[in-house]
Structure 1
Amino acid sequence: LYILLPVLDNDKHYYTGENEVQVLLDKGKSWLKDHPAKTLITNRYLRNLKSFARMALRELNDESLVDEKALPEISPELKEKKLSLNKQRLQAVTEQLLKINARSVVDFGCGEGKLIRELLKKPQFSKILGIDVSYNELLKAKERMHWDRMPEKKRERVELVQGSLQYCDERTLDFDAAAIVEVIEHMDADRLASFEQIVFSYSRPIHVIITTPNHEYNVLYEGMKADALRHNDHRFEWTRKEFNIWANKVANNHNYSVNFYGIGDKHEKYGTPTQMAVFTLKSEEEE
């Protein structure tokens, strides 16, 4: 039902991203692989985005060739914007980490390791910890980093571990910075308080960088309803004002300062698609 309900509805309620491919495979691979309507279901679940449907069908077919003529063409403009925003987000976070002279970074909710791969390109980052609740995501991260072939000196700089943002974990202590990229919107709102305590009170890095969607910007995505979310796994999405209120409250609660930045193409009225907060622990003189 998780897969079939949006297929039967065929109405776009959220922005379809690349991670929807993995959701489809995780939820449907056991039965979808041999289903007679496999192509139709995949197509409609992924909102007729050709590149995503092709990716999913290759996985379902064990890398066999897919009839690309059966897949609707993805708009080059949409593809370019999507790739551009993701790249801009990773670049913005990496630039902030360089700017604050962080040498050790914990990437909470690292997923398949996109940010970590960027950080590994910069010798400044001598200690990188990626932590994610999904063991499968960590395996993907290792695969995409070519873990087995990674030079020893490079591999000594990074560690990937399974863990949760809802529990204290001593492995996350004593880091210069924490990066939490497109993660909080996947949490239930009633878990934000415990998340806040874990990151800002227990782990307590000198800097914390959080990115999250700007809900105001959604009206600019073609076909999205006014109250829709970009992803069906998002529990909420904040406006700039809502994010500002939450982040300032967190900063005040834990003796951090906070600055805000936009990522992506800026609209005069709706701002940027991604918003970023950079928290810095206050010194004793600033307390």
Structure 2
Amino acid sequence: MHLIIKATGTGAGILSHLLAKNPNNLYDRIEKEARVRIVFTVSSEEETEAVIYVTPDPIELVKGSSSAHNDITQYINDREFVTSSLFCTYIRPALGTALNGKPKEAYLPWVGQRLALELSFGPVASNLPDRTLEELFTALGYEVVLERGEAEYSFDLKNRSSVRYIKLKGFQTLQTALQQLFVLIPALDDYKHYYISEDEVDKIRRYGEGWLQDHPQRALILKRTLRFAGVIKQFEALEGRTQNSGGASVDENEKEAAVKGSMDAPNALPDQSFESEAPEEPKVRLNDLRYAAIAATVEALQAKASIVDFGSGEGKLSAILANVPGVRDIKAVEPSATAQLRAMDRFAKLEGRQGTIVPKPVTGSLFYFDESLRNKDVMILCEVIEHIDEHRLARVMETVFAEYGPKTLIITTPNKEYNEVYEMEQEEMRHGDHRFEWGREAFSAWCSRWTTAFGYSAELKGIGEYMEGFGCPTQIAIFTKEETSQ
């Protein structure tokens, strides 16, 4: 992960002074669990270039993690390589002088001087489409170039890769340019390694001063940096009070009251409110609606004694199905050991309950055939297929239909058309790990492919609130094996 800062033309030589780094010396420090190095590859009055390179310690990255000893995902994530919120945390101490605009007194007049800058950083792993990435920076006056790596694939994946390198070119003060990057780099990634707390609200307000308020993608930036609706509301309230007071600082007691609550809770609900007014009716979550729809579908089936819940996660759906009359056996299949441990805790609470069976956790994946899962009454893939690369999905489904051969297969997946109702960008996906999302027509065509080839019929429905022209937020397909005449 790296950031290259290049200045050319008038004032280029001042770059090293604004960064408070001697261009003739190598800056080499350990910050948290990473090695941060800064080297000047060019240093003259006409052109100066500083390369900031970070090498995290992969062992330190997982220390203290609750999943470090129970889950293999620590070995297959990209946090060690991509330019993200972690990267900003690592380099902030090294760039503190420039970020705060406080070089030596002799160079203070240059803090507000615009320079001809080129900023290159990456790799960035973002689920945002190229167009949106470009709009985030062109709105700030930069020319934008997006590049992908030179790796060659035997199939056309390069142009669909979420990993890109970003190069910006424009006239800007170094302080403002860095502050913009420290807001936007974490916004590009769909992952943050720290809690969203009062400090984060203050940071966005401080670094966003003078440019964020008028940015056309301001709502998207706040959504991806502050995450939770309640926190965003408090940010807006603080911004409004600041502007209404003619730029005066907000009283510290008011600020504390405004952000008081569980902002720093990592699992706060997106629609969590911090208002002190009368409580609202609890909102029904889409996930609960999906589980209820699947449970109702299973209950209506004649053959439902044996169930396979693929990608069962923490076992919520399996626990619900355990109460459906007529169900005798549930295999909750999940590759994550951490999720399985939580599922086992949930299943243990079902022991001894009248009319309830206890699901059996199974370590497994759709990519590995398990003979014990064949010929079951029901197989469920709830919000699973969109996490599989499209070029691999066909092979997985062939295994499901031809080898496992369930009497009934239930699949749910997001309806891409409904993303517009959520005011999402056209190519934005609902989750950072989604490899694709289909509209109703595409999903219907895909389902027809399997009914024709393997002797199943399919019924397609929607789950969640229906909107004219967009359908429902979730699609559900119920495949039923057709009986063959003897």
1 or 2 for the larger relative contact order (CA 8 Å, sep ≥6)? 1
The structure with the largest helix share of the pair is 1
* Partner of residue 141 from structure 1, selected from 343, 346, 351: 343
Match of residue 47 from structure 1: 227
Match of residue 120 from structure 1: 322
1:75–1:161 CA distance, 2 compared to 1 (3 A) = closer
Q: Secondary structure at the match of 1:94?
A: helix
Deviations 1:73-122 (A, max 9, x none): 95469x98974311111111111111112111100110111111111122
The structure with the largest strand share of the pair is 2
Q: Secondary structure at the match of 1:131?
A: strand
1:46–1:133 CA distance, 2 compared to 1 (3 A) = farther
In structure 1, what is the Cα distance between the partners aligned to 2:439 and 2:299? 27
Match of residue 249 from structure 1: 449
Match of residue 68 from structure 1: 261
Deviations 1:106-145 (A, max 9, x none): 0011011111111112232111011011111111111233
1:171–1:45 CA distance, 2 compared to 1 (3 A) = farther
Q: CA deviation at 1:186?
A: 0.5
- Which amino acid is the alignment partner of residue 177 of structure 1? V
Q: Secondary structure at the match of 1:161?
A: strand
Q: Secondary structure at the match of 1:226?
A: coil
In structure 2, what is the Cα distance between the partners aligned to 1:231 and 1:73? 15
- Which amino acid is the alignment partner of residue 352 of structure 2? P
User: How do 1:14-163 and structure 2 match up within 5 A?
Assistant: 28=193, 32=194, 47-49=227-229, 68=261, 70=263, 75=271, 83-101=284-302, 102-145=304-347, 147=348, 150-151=351-352, 157-163=358-364
1:46–1:90 CA distance, 2 compared to 1 (3 A) = farther
Q: CA deviation at 1:220?
A: 0.5
Match of residue 439 from structure 2: 239
Match of residue 20 from structure 1: none
In structure 2, what is the Cα distance between the partners aligned to 1:206 and 1:46? 45
In structure 2, what is the Cα distance between the partners aligned to 1:273 and 1:192? 22
1:69–1:117 CA distance, 2 compared to 1 (3 A) = closer
* Partner of residue 479 from structure 2, selected from 275, 279, 286: 279
What are structure 1's unaligned runs of at least 5 residues? 15-22, 52-65
In structure 1, what is the Cα distance between the partners aligned to 2:184 and 2:270? 21
Match of residue 191 from structure 1: 392
Q: Percent identity?
A: 34
Q: CA deviation at 1:193?
A: 1.3
Over alpha carbons, which structure has the higher Rg? 2
1:264–1:12 CA distance, 2 compared to 1 (3 A) = farther
In structure 2, what is the Cα distance between the partners aligned to 1:50 and 1:142? 32
- Alignment check: 8 A CA contact 1:126 1:157 kept: no
In structure 1, what is the Cα distance between the partners aligned to 2:426 and 2:316? 30
- Which amino acid is the alignment partner of residue 227 of structure 2? R
Alignment size in residue pairs: 253
In structure 2, what is the Cα distance between the partners aligned to 1:220 and 1:80? 22
1:97–1:149 CA distance, 2 compared to 1 (3 A) = closer
- Which amino acid is the alignment partner of residue 469 of structure 2? K
Q: Secondary structure at the match of 1:68?
A: coil
Q: CA deviation at 1:10?
A: 5.5
Q: Superposition RMSD on alpha carbons, in Å?
A: 3.5
- Alignment check: 8 A CA contact 2:350 2:358 kept: no
- Which amino acid is the alignment partner of residue 228 of structure 2? N
In structure 1, what is the Cα distance between the partners aligned to 2:300 and 2:441? 26
1:38–1:170 CA distance, 2 compared to 1 (3 A) = farther
* Partner of residue 203 from structure 1, selected from 389, 404, 407: 404
In structure 1, what is the Cα distance between the partners aligned to 2:312 and 2:475? 18
The answer to whether residue 367 in structure 2 is matched with residue 166 in structure 1 is: yes
